[in-house]
């Protein structure tokens, strides 16, 4: 999976991004300073007020300039727009492929049209090769997402995303082991539908196609809410909570499976709240709001960002850093609300 991602990013996604004039440069680098760098790497990336005052006296910089340096230094480690576009293109390709595969597979099955067929003959239901392939590909993808979270830059919703990936991997594995795969395929296909639109919206945003990005984001919001708050509980939870019990009675795996599905529904409600909030801002302001999971820290400061000496006429700071003019590097990523 990682080799495929690397190949696609280098030979397909990157040329596409450059052809669409996606910015290849990352956030502006912070001005070199050995003292601040030592604090950043060895002590803290978010100095408190007491430490800021101490550094201000040591370097003869004002506190605001030191705060700006730390903000730029943190942003320096974040991925560029080009990198994020390649990641979104990879995910878009995967979601589009697996969703299309799921629809083509499910339309030939009886349980797509009648969920009671999910339990007909259980647990002695044959494992079809197409179903096995579907499961293995989905499971591999979610394992890769879970591990990549520890390698990538941590986002604001790291905890809830990690919880989602744990629940998803557990659900896929548990349903495979207990042969609850029929309803599992319905759940997988339903979840992939909204993710296709989300990644398309993010790519449009990275290409600075704001109107297209806004349209796709609002489409994503509708698809997400309808599928996760409407179809999922009325279609999936209904059959696992009621039809399964009516068909087979009570057994331990039923409760474990349903607890995991309900946890997933709770996460759906949380994300739906964030999406509605972002959609409201988009409608009221005429533009999709900045994503709460933006990789880049933003600031309302618009002044010059080179550290200013506390002494008005000083042009040279300590530790060999100069007071020459520079750029701020405050990038405000406005990606659409992130996928579950």
What CATH number is given to the structural domain containing 68?
1.10.10.60
| φ, ψ dihedrals at 316, nearest 5° | -130, 130
Cis peptide before 123 (omega within 30 of 0): yes
Residue 64 is assigned to a structural domain of this protein: yes
Instruction: Give the pLDDT score at 261.
Output: 96
Backbone conformation region of residue 72, classed left if phi is above 0, alpha if psi is from -120 to 50, else beta: alpha
Q: Judge whether 299 lies within some domain.
A: no
Do the Cβ atoms of 106 and 185 come closer than 8 Å?
yes
- Cα 204 off chain centre by: 16
Same domain for 223 and 259, yes or no, is: yes
The token duo for 165 is 């990936």
pLDDT at 241: 95
Q: Is 322 helix (H, G, I), strand (E, B) or coil?
A: strand
Containing structural domain, residue 40: 28-77
Low-confidence ranges of the chain (pLDDT < 50): 1-3, 289-340
Instruction: Assess whether 107 and 232 both reside in one domain.
Output: yes
Strands (E), 219-328: none
- Are 192 and 91 in a shared domain? yes
Q: Which residues does residue 322 pair with via DSSP β-bridges, in sequence order? A: 316
pLDDT of 25 reads: 66
Q: What is the rounded radius of gyration, in angstroms, for the C-alpha atoms of the chain? A: 25
How would you label 205-232 residue by residue, b for 16+ Cβ within 10 Å and e otherwise? bbbeeeeebbebbbebbebbbebbeeeb
Of 148, 136, 230, 216, the C-alpha closest to 175 is 136
Q: Note whether 73 and 86 are same-domain residues.
A: no
Regarding whether 235 and 97 lie in a shared domain, the answer is: yes
Could you tell me the two tokens for 138?
């989905």
| 9 inside domain | no
Look at residue 306 in the predicted model and tell me its pLDDT. 40
In this structure, are 38 and 143 located in the same domain?
A: no
Q: Is the domain of 49 the same as that of 103?
A: no
DSSP state string for 304-321: --SPPBSSTT--B-GGG-
Spell out the residues 6+ positions from residue 292 whose beta carbon is closer than 8 angstroms to its own.
156, 157, 274, 278, 337
Assess whether 67 and 89 both reside in one domain.
no
Could you give phi then psi for residue 61, rounded to 5 degrees? -110, 155
Q: How many CA atoms lie within 13 A of 253 on its CB side?
A: 14
Residue 314: inside a domain, yes or no? no
**Which is nearest to 153 in space by CA: 223, 80, 248, 235?**
80
- Nearest CA to 95 out of 220, 189, 209 is that of 189
Domain boundary among 284, 306, 331: 284
Identify the three-state secondary structure at position 283.
helix
């Amino acid at each position: 999976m990682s080799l495929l991602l690397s190949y696609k990013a280098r030979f397909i996604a990157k040329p596409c991004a450059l052809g669409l004039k996606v910015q290849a440069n990352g956030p502006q680098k912070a001005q070199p300073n050995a003292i601040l760098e030592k604090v950043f790497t060895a002590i803290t990336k978010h100095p408190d007020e007491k430490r800021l005052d101490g550094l201000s006296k040591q370097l003869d910089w004002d506190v605001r300039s030191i705060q700006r340096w730390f903000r730029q230094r943190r942003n320096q480690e974040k991925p560029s727009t080009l990198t994020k576009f390649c990641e979104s293109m990879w995910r878009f390709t995967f979601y589009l492929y697996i969703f299309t595969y799921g629809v083509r597979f499910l339309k030939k099955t009886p349980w797509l049209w009648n969920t009671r067929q999910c339990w007909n003959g259980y647990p002695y239901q044959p494992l079809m090769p197409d179903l096995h392939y579907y499961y293995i590909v989905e499971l591999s993808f979610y394992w890769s997402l879970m591990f990549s979270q520890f390698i990538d830059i941590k986002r604001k919703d790291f905890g809830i995303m990690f919880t989602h990936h744990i629940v998803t991997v557990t659900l896929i594995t548990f349903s495979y082991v207990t042969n609850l795969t029929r309803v599992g395929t319905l759940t997988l296909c339903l979840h992939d539908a909204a993710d296709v639109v989300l990644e398309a919206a993010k790519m449009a945003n990275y290409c600075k196609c704001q109107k297209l990005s806004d349209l796709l984001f609002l489409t994503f919001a509708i698809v997400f809410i309808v599928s996760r708050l409407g179809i999922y509980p009325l279609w999936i939870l209904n059959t696992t909570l009621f039809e399964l019990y009516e068909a087979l009675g009570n057994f331990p795996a039923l409760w474990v499976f349903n607890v995991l599905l309900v946890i997933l529904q709770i996460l759906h409600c949380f994300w739906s709240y964030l999406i509605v909030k972002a959609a409201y801002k988009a409608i009221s302001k005429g533009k999709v709001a900045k994503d709460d999971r933006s990789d880049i820290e933003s600031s309302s400061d618009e002044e010059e960002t080179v550290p200013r000496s506390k002494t008005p006429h000083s042009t040279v700071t300590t530790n060999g850093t100069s007071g020459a003019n520079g750029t701020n590097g405050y990038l405000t990523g406005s990606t659409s609300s992130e996928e579950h």
